[in-house]
Homo-oligomer: A and B are copies of this chain.
Amino acid sequence: MVSLHPQVAGFRFSGVECGIKKRGGLDLGLVVADAPAVVAGMFTRNVVRAAPLVICERRVAAQRTVRAILVNSGNANACTGEPGRNAALASCQALARELGITDDEVLPASTGVVGQLLQTEKITAALPRLVQGLEDDATGFAHAIITTDRWAKIEVQAVEGARVVGIAKGAGMIHPDVGPPQATMLAFLFTDARIGPLPLQAMLAEACQHSFNICSVDGDTSTNDTVLALASGRSEAVANEDDLGLAISSVCHRLAQSMVLDGEGAEHAATIDVRGLKNDSDARVVARTIATSMLVKTAMAGCDSNWGRVLAAAGRSGVEFDPGQAAIAIGGVSIVSQGLPVGSEAEARANEVMKGQVYRIEVVLGSGAGQASYMTSDLGHGYVDVNAGYRS
């Protein structure tokens, strides 16, 4: 029986309160690798890119190993220009001095409000406490990086010869679109596997494609989305690469599911499964259009199996299909067949399914082989409460 404690050989974690978050709480997180750890990264494709993300991306591209990740929540340090860049560099430099490593070995990440200068002095002042708090358990770190999240997100998976620990945060501006050397979702994966940077990058890219990049809370892609994977190589055994890749994918998928379920104000999470189109790419466009439709998301909030909104969203996606062949099921309850409603009794049963926290919406739009999934949350009063007053 494998222990599922949130820890992995070669890494120590810490989280403290340094005073950046207006409402208080842990807001500064640190991960330290005992020895240089192999690194891979995926970064937002938004052309507006936060200062720490630009630095982080450059460092991941330039070197195959790093020693530390420094994360603050409450301030995204985005749209802050040269002063923002200097603030991120200074924070890394102060940490490097504290740890006795080089600046380049520190990867910075930030999440929170856009357009406010990062208060480096608060970070610098908290560094001794942060370093002193380093421990094997990642729970404190996971709490330090969250913003509007209701819970910390940690997933652990073990395979023969390796262990993977994933830590992520949501909960708004969540529609990640991360690409290789280029999500304010932040996700960090740590493994003790012995692996090089190229296979690690390939595994991470593949995992993102089927996890973070197919989930949406509000359709808004952040300026700060960052996914990092670090490998300490401390495992005694050698892991099978396929098994390790699957474990990384599985951890990313579970973190993405948790992020969507914890979407700002969300009470429901659905997986949209689209099938029957010409190819997977078309299916993905349809699934994404349904998953980001405000009318579909409000119907989810109302537990209303309003399939007309689902079909209308598919129809405006730009992908061609025959609406007369459409079939829709919610939680396995068929409500549309051959483009026509099955009946009010079926819809009533689907409404019951939609009262659940998590369910599946299947949309079949023909007989092609193309298929894709997307994860989405509901749009209810909770979302408006969080977002009509976030900065104030």
Cβ of A238 under 8 Å from chain B: no
Interface membership of chain A positions 306-336, coded 1 if the CB is closer than 8 angstroms to chain B and 0 otherwise: 1111011111100111011010000000001
Q: A47-B323, A307-B115, A340-B80 are in contact. Are A293 and B219 (CB under 8 A)?
A: yes
Q: Which of A117-157 contact B (CB under 8 A)?
A: none
Residues A220 and B308 in contact, CB atoms below 8 Å apart: no
Interface membership of chain A positions 45-79, coded 1 if the CB is closer than 8 angstroms to chain B and 0 otherwise: 11111000000000000000000000000001011
Which B residue sits closest to A217, measured CB to CB? B294
Interface membership of chain A positions 95-123, coded 1 if the CB is closer than 8 angstroms to chain B and 0 otherwise: 00000000000000000011110000000
Which B residue sits closest to A117, measured CB to CB? B341
Chain B nearest CB: distance from A147 CB in Å? 13
Residues A388 and B380 in contact, CB atoms below 8 Å apart: yes
Which B residue sits closest to A322, measured CB to CB? B47
Indicate the member of A76, A172, A223, A312 with the most B CB atoms within 10 Å: A312
Cβ of A177 under 8 Å from chain B: yes
Residues A391 and B294 in contact, CB atoms below 8 Å apart: no
Number of copies: 2
Main SS of the interface on chain A?
loop
Indicate the member of A81, A299, A336, A384 with the most B CB atoms within 10 Å: A384
A46 to chain B: which residues have CB within 8 Å? 312, 315-316
Cβ of A5 under 8 Å from chain B: no
Chain B nearest CB: distance from A1 CB in Å? 44
Q: Bound state CA distance, A49 and B324, in angstroms? A: 11
Residues B79 and A339 in contact, CB atoms below 8 Å apart: yes
Q: How many A residues touch the partner, as a band?
A: 35 or more
Cβ of A231 under 8 Å from chain B: no
Q: Bound state CA distance, A261 and B299, in angstroms? A: 22
Residues B323 and A220 in contact, CB atoms below 8 Å apart: no
A339 to chain B: which residues have CB within 8 Å? 79, 81
Q: Bound state CA distance, A299 and B326, in angstroms? A: 37
Cβ of A218 under 8 Å from chain B: yes
Which B residue sits closest to A218, measured CB to CB? B294
Q: Bound state CA distance, A307 and B114, in angstroms? A: 8
Q: A79-B340, A295-B173, A304-B391 are in contact. Are A311 and B384 (CB under 8 A)?
A: no
Interface membership of chain A positions 370-392, coded 1 if the CB is closer than 8 angstroms to chain B and 0 otherwise: 00000000011101100111111
A-B contact pairs, 15 of them (CB 8 A): A47-B315, A79-B326, A79-B340, A113-B308, A114-B309, A114-B312, A115-B336, A116-B341, A221-B312, A221-B316, A222-B312, A294-B379, A294-B383, A298-B383, A298-B384
Which A residues contact B (CB, under 8 angstroms)?
A: 45-49, 76, 78-81, 113-116, 172-173, 175, 177, 218-223, 292-295, 298-299, 301-302, 304, 306-309, 311-316, 319-321, 323-324, 326, 336, 338-341, 379-381, 383-384, 387-392
